[in-house]
Amino acid sequence: MTAVAPSPAGIRRALQVPWWFVALPLGLYGLVVIYPSLAGALYAFTDWSGIGAFRWIGLANFRAVMIDDEAVSSLGNTVVLALSTTLIQNMLGLSLALALNRRTRLNSVLRPLFLAPALLAPVVVGVIWQYIYSPEGALNAILSAVHLDALRRPWLGLADTAIWSVALTVVWQFVGITMVIYIAGLQAIAPELHEAAAIDGSGALRRFRDITLPLLAPAITVNVLLPFIGGLKLFDQILVMTAGGPGYATQTVALMIYRQAFTFGAFAYSTALAVVLTVLVAVAAMIQLAALRSREMPA
Amino acid sequence: MTRNLNFARSFGQICLTGFAAVYAFPLYLIVSLALKTEAEGARAPFALPSSLFSGNFARAWQTSATSGNASLAPAFGNSILITAVGVVLLVVTGALGGYVLARRKSRLADWLFVLFLIGLTVPQQLGIVPLFQLARGLGLVGSAGGMILIYAGLLAPLTIFLYTTFIRALPTDYEEAALMDGASRLRVFWDVVMPLVRPVTATVVVIQGIHIWNDFFTPVIFLLGSGQQTLPVAIFSLVGEYATAWGPIFAGVVIASAPAMAVFVFLQRHVVRGFSGGIK
């Protein structure tokens, strides 16, 4: 009597990784992200006040967002901050990457120095720069020391300067990440390409435009996507440095959502704002991913 | 020609070093102000500290009589606890989940992977109110345990993504050999897969550890005023309490930042790889 040998396919099926391995992360993700996000998106179309029954009110919350000066200026500030920090961070980050790309002793000291602020809590960075920008703070003291007293001002207290002061703070913290991503991209470019082009008589600028920039495309995509989405969600630094002021000059959507929900209890309205924020983030992500995919296709 | 090039290069190095000095100046400023008395800080904010004054650190660390809120000692403990347990939970659940999603060749596995990916872009703000109500209903607001569970769900997408893509690229030979020897799937996971995914585990520990340590939005909603707050919230309270007494505030900043800086110094390679991982 011989045992029937199970087929190899049968063995493989019996030895499959069991589904329950994914149960815990999926369950936690479902409870913490999926269910609350779906519920939040639904509440945006209701008059829900946090307790008791609620009615469907269609797009009324979104119409209220559109005629609410605070919401409109928060949306404007958020987009301005996301765009400006992304732009400055990329120009500065790429310059630093090009300057620090070669392996020298000086560069091996400077690279981590530029990356260090990225490891600090954004709240902590906000506190540091709140001091620097304060009326009796470091920036004004330096201006006095070099006899530029005319430029002294409460940087975070004036509507004209507050938003740019915040933008600079964000760039200071995160430019190191942009830099290391560009360095990784630069180091993936074979030096032979530059050598061959140089032998063919291409100048440095031309080689940068024709070789470096096109081959950096994936790094550029990541370096635009990450700070832009991060910029759309700015909250910690704003709350610490300006609390959205003066007036609503530096109020962001994320800060307004927090206030509407947890200070004023306007739950339905806050979720409508959150839906607007989600759409902004999703559109940005889709544009970037489409750009990444089209560039990665072989021409 | 060569001499011109050398000159240009040294000139570039000097400019770069100058820029780096300006860039690093705020970091110098907080450490030096944390070590000065209030009088010295006001008189000579930019000079090196004349002596190493520790009073600011004592003030920031100890519980003040007026408000139990703005002391860093309990917050430091909470931050350590939430970060350490949170990261361990993320590694175990993320590696287990990523293992299934990488090895199962089925539509369900692909679909679940995409479901996790969606979580990479959904802003936390969208679900924050329903999540707060859910957590309050379960008695998880104001507790370290609640925060740990929230982070395990919130940060699952990136963790699952990293483990799944890494395990997909691993050969299955070792696992099959162990299975033929009669090991259970769980044993194979622990003894064969976990050692192979160590590079991802290092990235997850560093990146998610720093994320949890520095996060402000989640604890300000779930822990503020509970006496269980983490360091970023405690720093925020410290600013509220000391207003412009920058000495104790910056001492608090140094205390709160020291562990992340230590990780950076000792695990620099992993930190850089984690941050630049977006493009390999």
CATH superfamily ID and name for A48-296: MetI-like (1.10.3720.10)
Strand boundaries in B175-229, DSSP class E: none
- CATH 1.10.3720.10 maps onto chain B at 72-279
DSSP string, chain A: --PPPPPHHHHHHHTSPPGGGGHHHHHHHIIIIIHHHHHHHHHTTB---SSS---B-TTHHHHHHHH-HHHHHHHHHHHHHHHHHHHHHHHHHHHHHHHH-S--HHHHHHHHHHHGGGGS-HHHHHHHHHHHHSTTSHHHHHHHHTT-GGG---TTTSHHHHHHHHHHHHHHHHHHHHHHHHHHHHHTS-HHHHHHHHHTT--HHHHIIIIIHHHTHHHHHHHHHHHHHHHHT--HHHHHHTTT-STTTT--HHHHHHHHHHTS--HHHHHHHHHHHHHHHHHHHHHHHHHHHHHHS--
Chain A contacts in chain B segment 168-207 (CB below 8 A): 176, 179, 185, 189
Residue A9 pLDDT greater than 70, yes or no: no
A203 vs B75: CA distance, rounded Å: 57
Q: So what's the pLDDT on residue A102?
A: 85
Q: So what's the pLDDT on residue A54?
A: 84
Among A16, A180, A274, the residue with its CB nearest the CB of B104 is A16
Chain A contacts in chain B segment 111-170 (CB below 8 A): 112, 115-116, 119, 121-131, 133-134, 149-150, 152-154, 156-157, 159-160
Question: Does the beta-carbon distance from A22 to B128 stay under 8 Å?
Answer: no
Chain B residue with Cα closest to A127: B239
Cβ-based contacts of B185 with chain A (< 8 Å): 15, 17-18, 21
Q: So what's the pLDDT on residue B77?
A: 93
pLDDT band at B52 (very low <50, low <70, confident <90, very high): confident
Question: Does the beta-carbon distance from A50 to B133 stay under 8 Å?
Answer: yes
Determine the 3-state secondary structure of B26 from DSSP.
helix
pLDDT tens per residue across span A174-211: 999 999 999 999 988 888 888 888 888 888 888 888 88
Q: What is the mean pLDDT of residues B151-175?
A: 94
Question: Does the beta-carbon distance from B239 to A32 stay under 8 Å?
Answer: no
Phi, psi of B246 (to 5 degrees): -70, -25
Phi, psi of A266 (to 5 degrees): -85, 75
Q: Between A and B, how many residue pairs show a Cβ–Cβ distance under 8 A?
A: 254
Residue A103 pLDDT greater than 70, yes or no: yes
Q: So what's the pLDDT on residue B228?
A: 86
Among A114, A236, A281, the residue with its CB nearest the CB of B121 is A281
Q: So what's the pLDDT on residue A6?
A: 56
Q: So what's the pLDDT on residue A50?
A: 74
Q: So what's the pLDDT on residue B272?
A: 87
Least confident of A6-10, A26-30, A177-181, B142-146: A6-10
Q: So what's the pLDDT on residue A299?
A: 38
- Where along chain A do its domains lie? 48-296
A103 vs A34: CA distance, rounded Å: 45
Question: Does the beta-carbon distance from B156 to A282 stay under 8 Å?
Answer: no
Do residues A48 and A54 lie in contact, with contact meaning Cβ atoms separated by under 8 Å? yes
Question: Does the beta-carbon distance from A121 to B213 stay under 8 Å?
Answer: yes
Cβ-based contacts of A22 with chain B (< 8 Å): 96-97, 100-101, 112
Residue B277 is given by DSSP the state: G
Q: So what's the pLDDT on residue A165?
A: 96
Chain A contacts in chain B segment 204-263 (CB below 8 A): 210, 213-217, 221, 231-232, 235-236, 239, 244, 246, 249-250, 253, 256-257, 260-261, 263
Q: Identify the burial level of A195 via C-beta atoms within 10 angstroms of its C-beta, where 0-12 means exposed, 13-18 middle and 19 or more buried.
A: exposed
CA distance to partner chain B, nearest, from residue A239 (Å) = 9
Q: So what's the pLDDT on residue A150?
A: 87
pLDDT band at A230 (very low <50, low <70, confident <90, very high): very high
Give per-residue burial for B60-89: e unless 16+ CB within 10 Å, then b. bbeeeeeeebbbbebbbebbebbbebbbeb
pLDDT band at B3 (very low <50, low <70, confident <90, very high): low
Closest among B104, B93, B236 to B154, alpha carbons compared: B93
Question: Does the beta-carbon distance from B126 to A271 stay under 8 Å?
Answer: yes
Chain B residue with Cα closest to A182: B276
Classify the C-alpha dihedral A115-A116-A122-A127 as positive or negative.
negative
Q: So what's the pLDDT on residue B279?
A: 43
Residue B229 pLDDT greater than 80, yes or no: yes
Q: So what's the pLDDT on residue A207?
A: 86
Best mean pLDDT range from A9-13, A100-104, B63-67, B152-156: B152-156
Chain B residue with Cα closest to A110: B20
What CATH code is assigned to B72-279?
A: 1.10.3720.10
Phi, psi of A55 (to 5 degrees): -115, 150
pLDDT band at B70 (very low <50, low <70, confident <90, very high): low
Numbers of helices and strands, H then E, in chain B: 16, 0
pLDDT band at A293 (very low <50, low <70, confident <90, very high): confident
* Top-confidence residue, A19 or A202: A19
Cβ-based contacts of B270 with chain A (< 8 Å): none
